[in-house]
Amino acid sequence: DEVDKSTDNQLFLNFLGMLRNKYLDRDVKGMTSTFHSVILAGVYDVKNLKIKLRPDEERKYNSPWNIAADFNVDMTFHPDEIITMLNEYEADYHTGMDKEFISNEIYKYTSGYPFLVSKICELIDRKLEKDWSERGVQEAVKLMLNNTEPNTLFKSIGQNLLNNKDFNDFMRSVSFDSKEYPFSAIDPMIELGLTFSIIKIENNKVRIHNLIFEDLIYNFYVLEELRGKYTSLRQNSSVYIQNGKLNMPYVIECFQSLIRNEYRKMDNEFLERQGRLLFLCFLKPIVNGTGFYYVEPETRDGGRMDLVVSFGGEEFVIELKIWRGEKYEVEGKVQLAEYLKTRGLNEGYLVTFSFLKNKTVQEEPEWVEHDGKRIYEAVI
Protein backbone atom coordinates (compact mmCIF):
# COMPACT_ATOMS: atom_id res chain seq x y z
CA ASP A 1 0.00 0.00 0.00
CA GLU A 2 1.54 3.31 -1.19
CA VAL A 3 5.01 1.78 -1.38
CA ASP A 4 6.28 4.64 -3.53
CA LYS A 5 5.89 7.07 -0.61
CA SER A 6 9.05 5.66 0.95
CA THR A 7 12.29 7.46 0.10
CA ASP A 8 14.15 4.15 0.16
CA ASN A 9 12.17 1.21 -1.13
CA GLN A 10 15.04 -0.84 -2.52
CA LEU A 11 14.35 -3.68 -0.09
CA PHE A 12 10.78 -3.83 -1.35
CA LEU A 13 11.97 -3.90 -4.95
CA ASN A 14 14.38 -6.73 -4.15
CA PHE A 15 11.46 -8.60 -2.60
CA LEU A 16 9.34 -8.10 -5.73
CA GLY A 17 12.24 -9.30 -7.89
CA MET A 18 12.56 -12.43 -5.76
CA LEU A 19 8.82 -13.12 -6.09
CA ARG A 20 9.11 -12.74 -9.85
CA ASN A 21 11.91 -15.29 -10.02
CA LYS A 22 9.93 -17.72 -7.87
CA TYR A 23 6.91 -17.31 -10.11
CA LEU A 24 8.88 -17.88 -13.32
CA ASP A 25 10.63 -20.93 -11.81
CA ARG A 26 7.43 -22.61 -10.63
CA ASP A 27 7.26 -25.06 -13.58
CA VAL A 28 10.99 -25.64 -13.89
CA LYS A 29 11.40 -26.66 -10.25
CA GLY A 30 8.20 -28.69 -10.10
CA MET A 31 6.40 -26.42 -7.66
CA THR A 32 2.82 -27.52 -7.11
CA SER A 33 1.57 -24.13 -5.94
CA THR A 34 2.58 -20.49 -5.74
CA PHE A 35 1.06 -17.14 -4.87
CA HIS A 36 -1.65 -15.85 -7.18
CA SER A 37 -0.76 -12.17 -7.50
CA VAL A 38 0.98 -9.15 -6.01
CA ILE A 39 -1.17 -6.03 -5.88
CA LEU A 40 0.27 -2.53 -5.48
CA ALA A 41 -2.45 -0.35 -3.94
CA GLY A 42 -2.43 3.45 -3.87
CA VAL A 43 0.70 3.85 -6.00
CA TYR A 44 1.04 7.30 -7.57
CA ASP A 45 2.85 5.99 -10.61
CA VAL A 46 4.65 2.71 -11.20
CA LYS A 47 7.39 4.74 -12.89
CA ASN A 48 8.32 6.12 -9.46
CA LEU A 49 9.45 2.64 -8.51
CA LYS A 50 11.03 1.82 -11.84
CA ILE A 51 13.29 4.86 -11.64
CA LYS A 52 14.71 3.69 -8.31
CA LEU A 53 15.90 0.34 -9.67
CA ARG A 54 19.69 0.19 -9.67
CA PRO A 55 21.14 0.19 -13.19
CA ASP A 56 23.15 -3.06 -12.89
CA GLU A 57 22.32 -6.19 -14.87
CA GLU A 58 21.05 -8.28 -11.95
CA ARG A 59 18.56 -5.66 -10.88
CA LYS A 60 17.35 -5.17 -14.44
CA TYR A 61 16.86 -8.88 -14.86
CA ASN A 62 14.92 -9.05 -11.61
CA SER A 63 12.67 -6.14 -12.51
CA PRO A 64 9.06 -7.21 -11.94
CA TRP A 65 7.55 -4.70 -14.34
CA ASN A 66 7.66 -6.83 -17.47
CA ILE A 67 4.96 -9.07 -15.96
CA ALA A 68 2.97 -6.24 -14.36
CA ALA A 69 -0.64 -5.57 -15.33
CA ASP A 70 -3.28 -3.09 -14.23
CA PHE A 71 -5.63 -4.44 -11.56
CA ASN A 72 -9.15 -3.44 -12.54
CA VAL A 73 -11.25 -5.70 -10.30
CA ASP A 74 -13.98 -3.93 -8.32
CA MET A 75 -12.84 -4.40 -4.71
CA THR A 76 -15.93 -2.84 -3.09
CA PHE A 77 -18.49 -4.96 -1.27
CA HIS A 78 -22.03 -4.73 -2.59
CA PRO A 79 -25.01 -5.34 -0.27
CA ASP A 80 -25.41 -8.98 -1.33
CA GLU A 81 -21.73 -9.58 -0.55
CA ILE A 82 -22.10 -7.91 2.85
CA ILE A 83 -25.06 -10.23 3.52
CA THR A 84 -22.77 -13.20 2.83
CA MET A 85 -20.43 -11.97 5.57
CA LEU A 86 -23.34 -11.41 7.95
CA ASN A 87 -24.69 -14.91 7.21
CA GLU A 88 -21.43 -16.43 8.42
CA TYR A 89 -21.46 -14.23 11.51
CA GLU A 90 -25.11 -15.02 12.25
CA ALA A 91 -24.45 -18.76 11.97
CA ASP A 92 -22.02 -18.42 14.89
CA TYR A 93 -23.74 -15.83 17.10
CA HIS A 94 -27.50 -16.07 16.37
CA THR A 95 -28.23 -12.38 17.03
CA GLY A 96 -31.51 -12.33 15.11
CA MET A 97 -30.44 -9.30 13.07
CA ASP A 98 -32.27 -8.24 9.92
CA LYS A 99 -29.36 -9.07 7.61
CA GLU A 100 -30.75 -7.41 4.49
CA PHE A 101 -31.52 -4.18 6.34
CA ILE A 102 -28.13 -4.09 8.10
CA SER A 103 -26.21 -4.82 4.90
CA ASN A 104 -27.98 -1.94 3.12
CA GLU A 105 -27.40 0.35 6.11
CA ILE A 106 -23.67 -0.46 6.15
CA TYR A 107 -23.51 0.06 2.39
CA LYS A 108 -25.29 3.42 2.72
CA TYR A 109 -22.42 4.82 4.79
CA THR A 110 -19.49 2.98 3.20
CA SER A 111 -20.43 2.44 -0.48
CA GLY A 112 -18.80 -0.95 0.09
CA TYR A 113 -15.30 0.37 0.92
CA PRO A 114 -13.75 -2.85 2.34
CA PHE A 115 -11.96 -1.38 5.36
CA LEU A 116 -14.99 0.67 6.40
CA VAL A 117 -17.35 -2.30 6.04
CA SER A 118 -15.08 -4.47 8.18
CA LYS A 119 -14.49 -1.72 10.73
CA ILE A 120 -18.21 -1.09 11.27
CA CYS A 121 -18.79 -4.81 11.79
CA GLU A 122 -15.83 -5.06 14.17
CA LEU A 123 -17.02 -2.10 16.26
CA ILE A 124 -20.57 -3.43 16.53
CA ASP A 125 -19.26 -6.83 17.57
CA ARG A 126 -16.57 -5.71 20.04
CA LYS A 127 -17.50 -2.23 21.25
CA LEU A 128 -21.27 -1.93 20.89
CA GLU A 129 -22.47 -5.15 22.52
CA LYS A 130 -23.49 -6.69 19.20
CA ASP A 131 -26.11 -4.02 18.54
CA TRP A 132 -26.93 -5.09 14.98
CA SER A 133 -29.51 -2.37 14.38
CA GLU A 134 -29.74 0.95 12.57
CA ARG A 135 -28.63 2.68 15.78
CA GLY A 136 -25.70 0.27 16.14
CA VAL A 137 -24.45 1.06 12.64
CA GLN A 138 -24.77 4.80 13.32
CA GLU A 139 -22.91 4.46 16.62
CA ALA A 140 -20.08 2.62 14.86
CA VAL A 141 -19.85 5.39 12.26
CA LYS A 142 -19.81 7.97 15.05
CA LEU A 143 -16.96 6.17 16.83
CA MET A 144 -14.88 6.33 13.67
CA LEU A 145 -15.66 9.94 12.77
CA ASN A 146 -15.15 11.28 16.30
CA ASN A 147 -11.70 9.67 16.36
CA THR A 148 -12.69 7.40 19.23
CA GLU A 149 -11.32 4.65 17.01
CA PRO A 150 -8.31 6.22 15.23
CA ASN A 151 -7.03 4.48 12.11
CA THR A 152 -4.26 4.98 9.58
CA LEU A 153 -6.73 5.27 6.67
CA PHE A 154 -8.19 8.53 7.98
CA LYS A 155 -4.71 9.84 8.81
CA SER A 156 -3.60 9.07 5.26
CA ILE A 157 -6.55 11.01 3.81
CA GLY A 158 -5.67 14.00 6.00
CA GLN A 159 -2.02 13.86 4.95
CA ASN A 160 -2.95 13.70 1.28
CA LEU A 161 -5.08 16.84 1.69
CA LEU A 162 -2.38 18.68 3.64
CA ASN A 163 0.53 17.73 1.40
CA ASN A 164 -0.93 18.79 -1.94
CA LYS A 165 -2.53 22.24 -2.18
CA ASP A 166 -3.97 21.66 -5.65
CA PHE A 167 -5.60 18.41 -4.55
CA ASN A 168 -6.81 20.11 -1.36
CA ASP A 169 -8.47 22.87 -3.39
CA PHE A 170 -9.99 20.30 -5.74
CA MET A 171 -11.53 18.28 -2.90
CA ARG A 172 -12.84 21.43 -1.24
CA SER A 173 -14.62 22.43 -4.44
CA VAL A 174 -16.12 18.93 -4.80
CA SER A 175 -17.35 18.87 -1.19
CA PHE A 176 -18.20 22.34 0.12
CA ASP A 177 -18.74 24.11 -3.18
CA SER A 178 -20.76 21.19 -4.63
CA LYS A 179 -19.00 21.58 -7.98
CA GLU A 180 -19.49 18.85 -10.53
CA TYR A 181 -16.57 17.66 -12.62
CA PRO A 182 -16.92 15.30 -15.59
CA PHE A 183 -14.53 12.38 -15.59
CA SER A 184 -11.26 12.87 -17.45
CA ALA A 185 -8.69 10.09 -17.65
CA ILE A 186 -5.84 12.60 -17.92
CA ASP A 187 -6.84 15.11 -15.23
CA PRO A 188 -4.13 14.91 -12.53
CA MET A 189 -6.46 15.78 -9.62
CA ILE A 190 -9.05 13.19 -10.61
CA GLU A 191 -6.26 10.65 -11.09
CA LEU A 192 -4.94 11.40 -7.60
CA GLY A 193 -8.39 11.13 -6.04
CA LEU A 194 -8.93 7.74 -7.68
CA THR A 195 -5.46 6.57 -6.65
CA PHE A 196 -6.20 7.47 -3.03
CA SER A 197 -9.72 5.94 -3.41
CA ILE A 198 -11.16 9.17 -1.98
CA ILE A 199 -13.37 9.72 -5.02
CA LYS A 200 -15.28 7.52 -7.42
CA ILE A 201 -16.88 8.07 -10.81
CA GLU A 202 -20.68 7.86 -10.98
CA ASN A 203 -22.56 8.60 -14.19
CA ASN A 204 -19.28 9.96 -15.57
CA LYS A 205 -19.05 12.54 -12.75
CA VAL A 206 -16.69 12.88 -9.80
CA ARG A 207 -18.17 11.94 -6.42
CA ILE A 208 -16.62 11.50 -2.97
CA HIS A 209 -16.40 7.75 -2.51
CA ASN A 210 -18.75 7.34 0.47
CA LEU A 211 -20.64 9.20 3.20
CA ILE A 212 -17.98 8.50 5.83
CA PHE A 213 -15.22 10.00 3.67
CA GLU A 214 -17.50 12.92 2.85
CA ASP A 215 -18.15 13.64 6.52
CA LEU A 216 -14.45 13.23 7.31
CA ILE A 217 -13.51 15.75 4.62
CA TYR A 218 -16.24 18.19 5.68
CA ASN A 219 -14.92 18.04 9.24
CA PHE A 220 -11.39 18.63 7.98
CA TYR A 221 -12.39 21.91 6.34
CA VAL A 222 -14.78 22.96 9.12
CA LEU A 223 -12.05 22.63 11.76
CA GLU A 224 -9.66 24.48 9.47
CA GLU A 225 -12.12 27.40 9.33
CA LEU A 226 -12.85 27.29 13.08
CA ARG A 227 -9.13 27.60 13.79
CA GLY A 228 -8.94 30.54 11.42
CA LYS A 229 -11.32 33.33 10.48
CA TYR A 230 -14.55 31.86 11.89
CA THR A 231 -13.56 31.60 15.54
CA SER A 232 -16.75 33.47 16.52
CA LEU A 233 -18.74 30.41 15.38
CA ARG A 234 -17.34 28.19 18.13
CA GLN A 235 -20.18 27.29 20.43
CA ASN A 236 -20.62 25.93 23.94
CA SER A 237 -22.66 22.82 23.22
CA SER A 238 -24.23 22.62 26.69
CA VAL A 239 -26.70 25.46 26.03
CA TYR A 240 -28.22 23.52 23.11
CA ILE A 241 -28.56 20.16 24.86
CA GLN A 242 -31.17 19.32 27.47
CA ASN A 243 -31.35 15.88 29.09
CA GLY A 244 -29.11 14.48 26.37
CA LYS A 245 -31.37 15.77 23.58
CA LEU A 246 -30.41 18.36 20.99
CA ASN A 247 -32.68 21.42 20.77
CA MET A 248 -32.43 21.92 17.02
CA PRO A 249 -34.90 24.85 16.79
CA TYR A 250 -32.74 26.75 19.30
CA VAL A 251 -29.60 25.88 17.31
CA ILE A 252 -31.12 27.40 14.16
CA GLU A 253 -32.49 30.42 16.02
CA CYS A 254 -29.06 31.21 17.50
CA PHE A 255 -27.35 30.68 14.15
CA GLN A 256 -29.73 33.14 12.50
CA SER A 257 -29.05 35.71 15.21
CA LEU A 258 -25.28 35.25 14.98
CA ILE A 259 -25.16 35.64 11.19
CA ARG A 260 -27.32 38.77 11.28
CA ASN A 261 -25.14 40.35 13.96
CA GLU A 262 -21.66 39.18 13.02
CA TYR A 263 -21.77 38.82 9.24
CA ARG A 264 -24.38 41.35 8.10
CA LYS A 265 -21.67 43.53 6.52
CA MET A 266 -20.40 40.73 4.30
CA ASP A 267 -21.24 41.02 0.61
CA ASN A 268 -23.95 38.83 -0.89
CA GLU A 269 -21.53 36.85 -3.04
CA PHE A 270 -19.55 35.87 0.07
CA LEU A 271 -22.65 34.78 1.97
CA GLU A 272 -24.04 32.81 -0.95
CA ARG A 273 -20.74 31.02 -1.36
CA GLN A 274 -20.06 30.49 2.34
CA GLY A 275 -23.50 30.32 3.98
CA ARG A 276 -23.61 26.54 4.24
CA LEU A 277 -20.00 26.43 5.41
CA LEU A 278 -20.88 28.89 8.18
CA PHE A 279 -23.75 26.68 9.32
CA LEU A 280 -21.54 23.58 9.42
CA CYS A 281 -18.88 25.53 11.34
CA PHE A 282 -21.59 26.55 13.81
CA LEU A 283 -23.02 23.04 14.13
CA LYS A 284 -19.79 21.02 14.37
CA PRO A 285 -18.74 22.03 17.94
CA ILE A 286 -22.30 21.43 19.17
CA VAL A 287 -22.62 17.81 17.97
CA ASN A 288 -18.94 16.90 18.23
CA GLY A 289 -18.24 13.84 20.34
CA THR A 290 -21.89 12.91 20.83
CA GLY A 291 -23.36 12.98 17.34
CA PHE A 292 -22.41 13.34 13.71
CA TYR A 293 -23.85 14.67 10.47
CA TYR A 294 -23.62 13.89 6.80
CA VAL A 295 -24.82 15.39 3.54
CA GLU A 296 -27.15 13.35 1.35
CA PRO A 297 -25.29 13.14 -2.00
CA GLU A 298 -28.51 12.95 -4.03
CA THR A 299 -29.72 16.29 -2.67
CA ARG A 300 -26.54 18.30 -3.02
CA ASP A 301 -26.32 20.85 -5.78
CA GLY A 302 -25.46 24.52 -6.16
CA GLY A 303 -28.65 25.72 -4.49
CA ARG A 304 -29.66 22.95 -2.10
CA MET A 305 -28.11 20.68 0.50
CA ASP A 306 -29.87 18.19 2.78
CA LEU A 307 -28.02 17.65 6.04
CA VAL A 308 -28.83 14.67 8.26
CA VAL A 309 -27.80 15.09 11.91
CA SER A 310 -27.71 12.06 14.21
CA PHE A 311 -27.67 12.95 17.92
CA GLY A 312 -28.84 11.19 21.07
CA GLY A 313 -30.77 8.53 19.18
CA GLU A 314 -32.65 11.13 17.11
CA GLU A 315 -32.32 12.21 13.50
CA PHE A 316 -32.73 15.77 12.28
CA VAL A 317 -33.07 16.60 8.58
CA ILE A 318 -32.08 20.15 7.67
CA GLU A 319 -32.45 21.49 4.16
CA LEU A 320 -30.07 24.36 3.43
CA LYS A 321 -31.16 26.46 0.45
CA ILE A 322 -30.26 29.64 -1.34
CA TRP A 323 -33.22 31.96 -1.98
CA ARG A 324 -34.26 31.76 -5.65
CA GLY A 325 -37.79 33.16 -5.36
CA GLU A 326 -41.15 32.20 -3.88
CA LYS A 327 -41.70 29.36 -6.35
CA TYR A 328 -38.46 27.63 -5.38
CA GLU A 329 -39.17 28.23 -1.70
CA VAL A 330 -42.41 26.25 -2.02
CA GLU A 331 -40.55 23.56 -3.95
CA GLY A 332 -38.10 23.38 -1.06
CA LYS A 333 -40.90 22.52 1.35
CA VAL A 334 -42.25 19.91 -1.06
CA GLN A 335 -38.79 18.32 -1.42
CA LEU A 336 -38.21 18.36 2.33
CA ALA A 337 -41.63 16.85 3.09
CA GLU A 338 -41.03 14.06 0.57
CA TYR A 339 -37.59 13.37 2.00
CA LEU A 340 -39.00 13.25 5.55
CA LYS A 341 -41.47 10.59 4.37
CA THR A 342 -38.64 8.40 3.07
CA ARG A 343 -36.98 8.55 6.49
CA GLY A 344 -40.16 8.10 8.51
CA LEU A 345 -39.84 11.50 10.21
CA ASN A 346 -42.59 13.99 11.01
CA GLU A 347 -40.46 17.11 11.52
CA GLY A 348 -37.78 18.80 9.46
CA TYR A 349 -35.90 22.08 9.21
CA LEU A 350 -35.57 24.52 6.32
CA VAL A 351 -32.82 27.15 6.45
CA THR A 352 -32.85 29.58 3.52
CA PHE A 353 -30.06 32.05 2.83
CA SER A 354 -31.56 35.20 1.30
CA PHE A 355 -29.31 37.84 -0.25
CA LEU A 356 -31.84 40.22 -1.79
CA LYS A 357 -31.63 43.69 -0.28
CA ASN A 358 -35.21 44.58 -1.18
CA LYS A 359 -36.78 41.34 0.06
CA THR A 360 -38.84 41.37 3.23
CA VAL A 361 -37.11 38.81 5.40
CA GLN A 362 -39.01 36.60 7.79
CA GLU A 363 -37.89 38.01 11.14
CA GLU A 364 -38.13 34.92 13.34
CA PRO A 365 -38.03 31.19 12.60
CA GLU A 366 -41.43 29.53 12.77
CA TRP A 367 -43.14 26.16 12.51
CA VAL A 368 -45.25 25.64 9.39
CA GLU A 369 -47.31 22.67 8.18
CA HIS A 370 -46.79 21.14 4.76
CA ASP A 371 -48.24 17.89 3.45
CA GLY A 372 -48.70 16.49 6.95
CA LYS A 373 -45.17 17.39 8.06
CA ARG A 374 -44.03 20.08 10.50
CA ILE A 375 -41.24 22.23 9.11
CA TYR A 376 -39.23 24.73 11.14
CA GLU A 377 -38.43 27.50 8.67
CA ALA A 378 -35.75 30.17 9.08
CA VAL A 379 -34.67 32.80 6.55
CA ILE A 380 -31.20 34.29 6.98
For the segment 262-285, the average pLDDT, to the nearest whole number, is: 73
User: Between residues 350 and 75, which one has the greater pLDDT?
Assistant: 350
Cβ atoms of 35 and 23 closer than 8 Å: yes
Q: Which of 53-62, 121-130, 240-249 has the lowest mean pLDDT?
A: 53-62
User: Between residues 210 and 278, which one has the greater pLDDT?
Assistant: 210
pLDDT of 135 strictly over 50: yes
Q: Residues 72-109: pLDDT tens digits?
A: 677 899 999 999 999 999 999 999 999 999 999 999 99
Q: Please give the pLDDT value at position 42.
A: 67
For the segment 320-348, the average pLDDT, to the nearest whole number, is: 85
pLDDT of 213 strictly over 90: yes
Q: Please give the pLDDT value at position 13.
A: 76
Percent of the residues in the chain that have a pLDDT greater than 70, as a whole number:
79
pLDDT band at residue 59, thresholds of 50, 70 and 90?
A: very low
* E-strand stretches of 24-139: none
Q: Please give the pLDDT value at position 61.
A: 47
Q: Please give the pLDDT value at position 353.
A: 84
Q: Please give the pLDDT value at position 236.
A: 77
User: Between residues 364 and 147, which one has the greater pLDDT?
Assistant: 364
Cβ atoms of 198 and 209 closer than 8 Å: yes
What are the residue ranges spanned by the domains of the chain? 3-67, 79-145, 152-208, 222-379
Phi/psi for 223 (5° steps) reads -65, -35
Could you give the C-alpha distances from 187 to 49, 170, 193, 276, 332, in angstroms and in order?
22, 11, 10, 28, 35
User: Between residues 123 and 268, which one has the greater pLDDT?
Assistant: 123
Q: Which residues contact 253 (CB under 8 A, 6 or more apart)?
A: 364, 365, 378
Q: SS3 for 252?
A: helix
User: Between residues 30 and 339, which one has the greater pLDDT?
Assistant: 339
Q: Please give the pLDDT value at position 376.
A: 96
Q: Residues 241-261: pLDDT tens digits?
A: 989 999 999 999 999 888 887
Q: Which residues contact 306 (CB under 8 A, 6 or more apart)?
A: 295, 296, 299, 300, 317, 318, 319, 320, 336, 339
Closest among 279, 273, 274 to 295, alpha carbons compared: 279
For the segment 195-221, the average pLDDT, to the nearest whole number, is: 92
User: Between residues 322 and 273, which one has the greater pLDDT?
Assistant: 322
CA–CA gap between residue 24 and residue 63 (Å, rounded): 12
* E-strand stretches of the chain: 199-202, 205-208, 241-242, 245-246, 291-295, 304-311, 314-322, 347-353, 366-370, 373-379
User: Between residues 246 and 226, which one has the greater pLDDT?
Assistant: 246
Cβ atoms of 215 and 145 closer than 8 Å: yes
Cβ atoms of 207 and 190 closer than 8 Å: no
For the segment 327-346, the average pLDDT, to the nearest whole number, is: 87
User: Between residues 325 and 63, which one has the greater pLDDT?
Assistant: 325
Q: Please give the pLDDT value at position 120.
A: 97
pLDDT of 44 strictly over 80: no
pLDDT band at residue 60, thresholds of 50, 70 and 90?
A: very low
